[in-house]
Amino acid sequence: MSCTVTVEEFKTHFDRAFEFGEDDVRDSDIEIAMTEADATFNANLYPTDDVCKLARKYLIAHFLASDIEAADSGGQTRFHQQSRSVGSVSESLAIPEWMKDGELAFYTTTYWGQKFLTLSKPYMGGVVLSVRGGTNP
Give whichever of 2-6, 27-31, 63-67, 113-117 has the largest mean pLDDT.
Answer: 27-31
CA distance 21 to 19: 7
pLDDT-based confidence at 120, cuts 50/70/90? confident
* HSE (side-chain half, CA atoms, 13 Å) at 108: 17
CA 59 to chain centre: 3
* Structural domain boundaries in the chain: 7-78+91-124
| List of residues 6+ apart from 48 with CB closer than 8 A | none
**Residue among 21, 41, 39 nearest 30 (CA):** 21
Percentages helix, strand, coil for the chain (3-state, rounded to 5) are: 55, 5, 40
pTM for this predicted structure: 0.68
